[in-house]
Amino acid sequence: MAKLRVLIVGTGSIGERHLRCFAATGRAELALCEVDDERRRVVAERYGVPHAFASIEAAACDQIDAAVLAIPAPLHVPMATRLADAGVHLLIEKPLSTSLDGIARLQQIVADRGIRAAVAYVYRAHPSIQAMRRAIADGRFGRPVEIVAIAGQHFPTYRPAYRSIYYNDRAAGGGAIQDALTHIVNAGEFLVGPVDRVMADAAHQVLDGVDVEDTVHVLTRHGDVLGSYTLNQHQAPNEMSITVIGDRGTARFDMHNARWRWMTDPGGAWHDEPECSRERDALFMAQAHAFLDLIEGGSPPLCSLDEGLQTLRVNLAILAAVARPAWQTIQF
């Protein structure tokens, strides 16, 4: 089978990772599109990419099969719409957008043209979270009644350029809610179904050089399942866990330990499933393989366009809840 021709649009840190990981699959003939001349030259040379374009026009959409959109979130939908209309399959970075504008038209074009589209919520590619989801769906822990997610990392260590990128502008997809929490909420929806109600509180607590929130607490309802999500971007430990409590047992995904574990006996011991690779590129390679499988007709998307839209609606609801809190004051 001929290799699929894949265009990586945008070569910032996440775009470069996509480029590297699609190359590692050995299944794609790669090109890149980058508006910054120096960045385009450096990345093309670093990975030996023969075709590096300054614009989509120069890339000639009729010469590519698929595109990975790793550009600022407000540009996702306009660019995806243009490419879909040209018959190009799409992997769109998260979040899908920063508003609902234009998404209905994109969905219609995708449906009309038979485009294969996915949103790059990469946690869904993790073998441990996939195995845990199957166990929950099989009823091993009974009926899910609660989901609890706790996450934190020291952003200046892991994302030292945060001050100079989109992160400091909510309109560009910045802030903890749209940048990091959205991954965890999407994973929660993957495990126990879509969020239909939220309450939230968030603030800028620690990070130097930015004004957006770096600490978030969210209460959710996934139908009958109660949820809570807590995230900060300034603590020393780099860790994330998602715990699903059922009426006959508990399952926990530990991202930082690359494993999932479960317990069914009250007061008993955790049963640990085998660890997976802790190498971050492994997840993106798995996501790349899944997207290529999607195009070739072998599997459903890890996160469909509709599922990405659902999580976008949650993002917007959390931002609205933060802007218009409804606290009940305790009288002493």
The yes-or-no verdict on residue 197 having pLDDT over 80 is yes
For the stretch 123-141, pLDDT in tens is 999 999 999 999 999 999 9
pLDDT at 251: 98
**CATH-assigned architecture of domain 127-276+313-323:** 2-Layer Sandwich (3.30)
Task: Give DSSP secondary structure letters for 68-120.
Answer: EE-S-GGGHHHHHHHHHHTT-EEEEESSS-SSSTTHHHHHHHHHHHT--EEEE
Is-contact 147 244, C-beta < 8 A? yes
What number is the average pLDDT over the span 45-70?
93
Listed in sequence order, the residues at least 6 apart from 331 whose beta carbon sits closer than 8 Å to its beta carbon are: none
Reported as a pLDDT band with limits 50, 70 and 90, residue 326 is: confident
Quick check: 327 pLDDT over 80? no
- For the domain made up of 4-123+285-303, give the CATH fold: Rossmann fold (3.40.50)
Question: What percent of the chain stands above pLDDT 70?
Answer: 99
Average pLDDT, the chain: 95
Residue 94's identity, in one-letter code, is K
More confident residue, 293 or 298: 293
Q: How confident is the model over 281-291, as pLDDT tens digits?
A: 999 999 999 99
| Boundaries of every domain in the chain | 4-123+285-303, 127-276+313-323
The pLDDT of residue 62: 81
Predicted model pTM: 0.95
Q: State yes or no: pLDDT of 216 exceeds 80.
A: yes
Which band of pLDDT confidence, cut at 50, 70 and 90, is reported for residue 29? very high
